[in-house]
Amino acid sequence: MPPPPPAAARSRGRCSALSFAAARDRCFSHRFRRAGLRPLAVPLPAPGPDPDPDPATTVHMWVPAGPPPRNPLLLLHGFGASATWQWAPYLRALIAAGFDPIVPDLVFFGNSCTRLPDRSDAFQASAIKAAMDAIGVPRFGLVGVSYGGFVGHRMAAMFPEAVDRVALVCAGVCLEEKDLAEGLFPVAGVGEAADLLVPRRPEEVRRLVRLTFVRPPLIMPSCFLWDYIRVMGSDHIQEKTELLYALINGRQLCTLPKLTQPTLIIWGEQDRVFPMELAHRLNRHLEGNSRLVVIKNAGHAVNIEKPKEVCRNIIEFFKEPVAGAANVDDKV
């Protein structure tokens, strides 16, 4: 049976005591609150000399509930479940290491949305930067996973005065549109990529999980997958598809900005979504301003499969002297 309309699906999913996905979502939100973060909706006006008084864009983010952050670290999620699902395993270690995590939902994910037509990574970057300005955080470190890495890379290029240093996790920013036709990826076009990354049926979720995890679950019952789709994946399907088209169409390495900030590149050795070739391509593109760390026995979902190793590398990188970023390859 097909899923119900997105709004009704999300509402019923979150209110149902029988929904595993809704219960898990509440659990992650509770973990964020216990870690000292609070949810905040940041309204952003439309650009222009006479902006509409109603906000054009709203960025939802989790921010420190106490004093202004002294060591802010912006964490950008990828496609898939909301930001809380992807970053909950990192909070305790990052806070213990002295960082103040700031975790937004990118536009059209979680509770962030816009009525503007722009779907580019530059728009996402500008929206998050405006939200950071609104909460009084002018300079910060940045970590981006997969699609969040595309947005993070663009932010670092657009706002070098704000982004101190960058960690990109399995972020295939050096891909070119021609790579799809030439067989570098498991998909042959942007439409197929959208079907993969914005799954609408259980069999599509299974394919995505099997591609992103080295050791995917052996059993994935359809009832649980329908529940996940209804609660976490049924909103803004068209807009998310448009984000992918805007990201990939016409993409060329020769137009990709080179970052000036020290950059850490983390990759799952068995990534099948963004193969290792893209990690080495990015490391070369940054011309000595980056370090590549390859995580063994991990795929594209390395941030979920190997959270301790990924977190340890993030902490070490953001704590080391600026001169410590050198163009070398490490394996852990």
pLDDT tens-digit series, residues 278-303 = 999 999 999 889 999 999 999 999 99
Q: Is the pLDDT of residue 233 over 80?
A: no
pTM of the model: 0.90
> What pLDDT is attached to residue 331?
63
3-state secondary structure of 293: strand
At CA 244, angle to CA 88 and CA 163, rounded to 5? 55
- Contact (CB, 8 A) for 263 and 287: no
Mean of all residue pLDDT scores within the chain: 89
> What pLDDT is attached to residue 54?
78
Mean pLDDT, residues 35-64 taken together: 88
CA atoms within 13 A on the CB side of 308: 0
DSSP 110: T
**What is the C-alpha separation between 100 and 110, in angstroms, rounded?**
21
β-bridge pairing 37-44 and 57-64:
antiparallel
From the CA atom positions of the chain, what is the Rg in Å?
19
pLDDT digits (tens, 9 = 90+) for 183-206: 889 888 888 888 888 888 999 999
Domain boundaries of the chain, sorted by first residue: 28-175+255-319
Mean pLDDT, residues 67-90 taken together: 93
Q: Which among 160, 163, 159, 146 is positioned nearest to 102, based on CA atoms?
A: 163
**Fold of the domain built from segment(s) 28-175+255-319:** Rossmann fold (3.40.50)
- Contact (CB, 8 A) for 143 and 169: yes
Q: Which among 65, 42, 10 is positioned nearest to 112, based on CA atoms?
A: 42
- Contact (CB, 8 A) for 9 and 230: yes
- Give the phi and the psi of residue 4 in degrees, each rounded to 5: -70, 175
Structure tokens at 86: 């992807």
**What is the C-alpha separation between 152 and 314, in angstroms, rounded?**
15
CA atoms within 13 A on the CB side of 240: 23
**What is the C-alpha separation between 127 and 158, in angstroms, rounded?**
12
Place of tokens 């799954």: 199
- Contact (CB, 8 A) for 295 and 265: no
Structure tokens at 205: 């979720």
Q: Is the pLDDT of residue 266 over 90?
A: yes
